[in-house]
Structure 1
């Protein structure tokens, strides 16, 4: 681990200790994939408390951890607010990307760790943030690129998180990480090894350290800069002995 990662690990231990000492739920900020990997790698070191992870919706990539003392006997809520960004005049709105929305938020001086996933829809986006900064974002975010926008809070039962996916089918000689990535990303196995070596590939939120990692059904693979996909099924074998796989790719 580098110094920044060691400091993050120490921060996790301090939060777990605070939850145990004070007898209350204590929360992290939103963690990215690398931070989630560090979190999972050191859970034994704060085994004296339990924990829960949540990012505002099921299968969120960026998540907050709640450290919970064993004596906790009351209900708690994650400090997460969901906000919707919509154009003031939809017919004149630009086609905005995830990068556009994120850039507009960060240009307000907000730390990335205070913002969770951003789900981009047609002419609008839903994003998740820590509740403490929600009023500021609602007041200050008035434009994304050249499009005037309004930011509104959405009640949980109003949010319909629709993730766009496509199913990709193919065959592999073995259910190794690099083989499955080759089918999902339509690239050669050799060209994908560098992504694994550079620490850009995560399986179920944990850093993948070997291209020979064996996958199983429902494993979620995230590749920085290339999106994420889930291994849905392992089918039968072809006449040549190759395994038939089905992948759900998030668009």
Structure 2
């Protein structure tokens, strides 16, 4: 079996486990493509309830939790994920550390990528969202990031300023709320350059793969374009005399 078939089987097994035993069951962290596969798989399984979470609203990597009968809809509290803060031992002698530096050091410990969620950078420290069963190992073993000595602590949650990512609002007129038109506005590019990205499987709306340039956006849709970034579609603000739509997006900035 290929990787996609293995994941489908795993999702089906977890859904069945939750249904028959009435206990929570969960996946590891899923990429955007895997989240799309998850949605397509569970849509064929009647009666399942689930929630996806990555520890904060705008998370890209998320784990899926199947909900037992006694859980409330949308309750992700039974998902065993935690926040680990990784900080330099001595800020004065620390390298300028990037997302790639932190991820590389974690991977060098032998930690599987699916055990790790998003890594949020705050100055020269990082907040790692990970599966709870990896937290003790990471805290015990991660001593250096590049040439910088670090220490790790499990936190109660993310700092509030990190749960609300910085955004830049952009407004402009489009002929319609087609995906390619709004992408062109959000990334200051031409529609002709956006279409191949959409048709090439690089664009996700709310974690679901979309390959049609003519797909329509709805208010508050979260759009992610691989290697380019993501934005939230705010919606139509006005209509011009010539019938064009004046829309707004909020693009996430690091």
TM-score (norm 1): 0.92
- TM-superposed deviation, 1:242: 2.0
Kept in 1, the 8 Å contact 2:178–2:216? The answer is yes
* SS state at 2:59 partner: coil
Kept in 2, the 8 Å contact 1:87–1:124? The answer is yes
What does residue 40 of structure 1 align with?
Answer: 39
What does residue 223 of structure 1 align with?
Answer: 225
- Residue 176 of structure 2 is aligned with which of 174, 177, 191? 174
Sort the Cα spacing of 1:145 and 1:55 in 2 relative to 1 into closer, same or farther, 3 A: same
Q: Distance in 2 between matches of 1:197 and 1:34?
A: 14
Q: Distance in 1 between matches of 2:193 and 2:93?
A: 41
What does residue 56 of structure 1 align with?
Answer: 55
Unaligned residue ranges in structure 1 (runs of 5+)? none
Kept in 1, the 8 Å contact 2:127–2:158? The answer is no
What does residue 165 of structure 2 align with?
Answer: 163
- Residue 236 of structure 2 is aligned with which of 234, 237, 241? 234
- TM-superposed deviation, 1:17: 0.9
Please give the per-residue CA displacement for 1:215-234, whole angstroms capped at 9, x wherever unaligned: 12111101111111001131
Please give the per-residue CA displacement for 1:31-61, whole angstroms capped at 9, x wherever unaligned: 1111111111122333233212221122322
Please give the per-residue CA displacement for 1:90-146, whole angstroms capped at 9, x wherever unaligned: 233233222222122112111111001111111111110001111111111112222
Kept in 2, the 8 Å contact 1:49–1:70? The answer is no
* SS state at 1:105 partner: helix
Q: Distance in 2 between matches of 1:205 and 1:49?
A: 18
C-alpha RMSD of the superposition: 2.0
Sort the Cα spacing of 1:212 and 1:69 in 2 relative to 1 into closer, same or farther, 3 A: same
What does residue 120 of structure 1 align with?
Answer: 121
Kept in 2, the 8 Å contact 1:23–1:72? The answer is no
Matched positions, count: 249
Q: Distance in 1 between matches of 2:57 and 2:47?
A: 26
Q: Distance in 2 between matches of 1:69 and 1:18?
A: 10
Please give the per-residue CA displacement for 1:169-194, whole angstroms capped at 9, x wherever unaligned: 22211111111111111111111212
TM-score (norm 2): 0.91
